[in-house]
Amino acid sequence: MQRRDFIRAQAAATACATFGASVTAPAWAHGPAHTSKPRAAAPEQKPWGIAGQPRPGLRRIDIRMSDDMRFLPDRIQARRGETLRIVVRNDGRMLHEFVLGTKQELDEHAAQMLKFPDMEHDEPWMAHVPAGGQGEIVWTFNRAGEFDFACLIAGHYQAGMVGRVSVTPK
């Protein structure tokens, strides 16, 4: 009788572990299935601002990305406190991304991407856009200063796929 109870307990534990593994949140990797969709903003303050809430009337900035490793335009102007809807379109044939940050953080992340090109991440200040696709970031620039954006896919940042954000005081 004790052996039967032990086997049942083992089977229940295995079933719980299997179920728990199957309901974990998905992680996004750089690859063909990687997409960018508007998502609920995580209210984490960063040196370059905080995720904003999508709402009608936001100023829209359209940025195009291409396989020549450039953003067009490669400059964004904002006022401190302004929330922008940044829409990025990938005109290329390969995956590109748009990542907001400070130069130091982008440098560090780019170095990690070279070591681990399939690194998994999905943050409100990033838009991963497959070839021919479109992504969006809604961001509140609540701090004045000079910030950056870049494509951190391995080799793209190093090829000069970068841009600048100037946030002026109100």
Task: Judge whether residue 18 has pLDDT over 60.
Answer: no
Q: Is residue 10 part of a domain?
A: no
Mean pLDDT of 21-25: 35
Number of domains in the chain: 1
Number of H helices, E strands in the chain: 2, 10
Q: Alpha-carbon Rg of the chain, whole angstroms?
A: 20
Q: What is the pLDDT of residue 12?
A: 43
Task: Judge whether residue 139 has pLDDT over 70.
Answer: yes
Q: What is the pLDDT of residue 122?
A: 81
What is the H or E stretch that residue 141 is in? strand 134-141
Q: Is residue 15 part of a domain?
A: no
Mean pLDDT of 1-12: 45
Contacts of 112 (CB under 8 A, 6+ apart): 119
Q: Is residue 105 part of a domain?
A: yes
pLDDT category, 165, cuts 50, 70, 90?
very high
pLDDT, one tens digit per residue, over 28-39 is 445 444 444 455
Q: Is residue 65 part of a domain?
A: yes
Q: Is residue 1 part of a domain?
A: no
Q: Is residue 22 part of a domain?
A: no
Task: Judge whether residue 150 has pLDDT over 60.
Answer: yes
Gap between the Cα atoms of 153 and 158, Å rounded: 9
Q: Is residue 13 part of a domain?
A: no
The two tokens of residue 80 are 């401190």
Q: What is the pLDDT of residue 93?
A: 97
pLDDT, one tens digit per residue, over 79-128 is 999 999 999 999 999 999 999 999 999 999 999 999 988 877 789 999 99
Q: What is the pLDDT of residue 40?
A: 54
Gap between the Cα atoms of 95 and 156, Å rounded: 10
Question: Which among 95, 85, 88, 86 has a CA at the least distance from the CA of 64?
Answer: 88
Q: Can you give the CATH number for the domain in which 92 is found?
A: 2.60.40.420
Cis peptide bond prior to 124, omega within 30° of 0: no
State the chain's mean pLDDT as an integer.
82
Domain of 101, in residue numbers: 27-168
Q: Is residue 11 part of a domain?
A: no
